[in-house]
Amino acid sequence: MIQVENLTLSFNEKPILEEINLTINQGDFLAIIGPNGGGKSTLIRCLLGFLQPQRGKITLWGEPISTFKHWYKIGYLPQRAGKELLSLNPITLKEFVLLPSKWYKKPVDTSHLKFLIETFGLEELISKKISHLSFGQLQRAYLVRALLLKPEILILDEPSVGLDFVSQEAFYQILSDFHKRGLTIILITHETWLLTREINKVACLNHRLYYHGEHEEFCVLAEKGITDLPYHRVEHLHW
Ligand SMILES: Nc1ncnc2c1ncn2[C@@H]1O[C@H](COP(=O)(O)OP(=O)(O)OP(=O)(O)O)[C@@H](O)[C@H]1O
């Protein structure tokens, strides 16, 4: 679905991504882990076409990113998503979650919308102004928005930051359910305890991609303490 070859990007001549090679296949539930500033969000922003790398190639469903037009196939929950709302007009939650249908001129499947609203427990809030929602409610609204057009890939940049433990549990359970139904998921996370869940692939990024492989193999390597993760010792991963 996504192929990244030799991706290299610098900001002000400071290398942020160096020679990244990565393939995302259908059915992957990939966790991208790594230290603050390691380039995780930058990589995602390249995959979404927001940033252009200085070197390398990105292919989406076999098509070069420069000519790719089917962006509705990718749902995206940005990091600290709530911030964006400060500059938004006072629209309702319903108007907010329907935005992708306007952006991509795609009809909404109303039964799918109903399913998403119920799944994320937003029925009571549907007419509420988006600016009046709590952070956790906003996160769920972003998820509905990201899933509205039935994307094939969902990309989440630290989605559970700020959610209480019970909400996190519920949130990841829902993600697992979507994955079981065929959704491919890319998740940037610092919550390494999550790696015992539905996640089946792991990528460790600190400017370079230090590991990309099966989750099970990663756990074995990590337990033996022989994974060469330069940003911290494996013992410090609390899963
Ligand atoms: N637009 C930009 N201009 C200049 N530098 C940038 C820009 N965006 C990001 N950076 C820098 O690139 C580096 C990588 O940032 P990025 O947000 O990709 O890291 P991250 O791995 O997602 O970190 P975190 O775990 O803290 O979210 C950081 O040093 C950041 O300051």
pLDDT at 216 (0 to 100): 84
Which residue range forms the structural domain that includes residue 10? Answer: 2-236
Lowest mean pLDDT among 149-153, 185-189, 194-198: 194-198
**pLDDT top residue among 10 and 219:** 10
**Distance between CA atoms of residues 35 and 42, nearest Å:** 13
41 lines ligand 1 (CB under 6 A): yes
**Distance between CA atoms of residues 20 and 42, nearest Å:** 12
Please name the residue whose Cα sits nearest to atom 13 of ligand 1.
37
140 — pLDDT class (breaks 50, 70, 90): confident
For the chain, the domain total comes to 1
Structure-token pair, residue 133:
């929602």
pLDDT single digits (tens) 194-221 = 666 788 999 989 899 988 888 888 877 7
pLDDT at 116 (0 to 100): 94
Mean pLDDT of the chain: 86
pLDDT single digits (tens) 217-234 = 887 777 766 555 544 444
Q: State the CATH number of the domain containing residue 31.
A: 3.40.50.300
How would you label 197-207 residue by residue, b for 16+ Cβ within 10 Å and e otherwise? bbbebbbbbbb
Paired with 30 in beta bridges are 186, 201
- Three-state DSSP at 225 gives coil
**pLDDT top residue among 221 and 154:** 154
What's the ipTM?
0.96
Q: What is the position in ligand 1's atom list of the atom closest to the CA of 42?
A: 18
Lowest mean pLDDT among 6-10, 50-54, 147-151, 171-175: 171-175
Adjacency order of strands within the sheet including 14-24: 14-24, 2-11, 55-60, 63-64
39 lines ligand 1 (CB under 6 A): yes
81 — pLDDT class (breaks 50, 70, 90): low
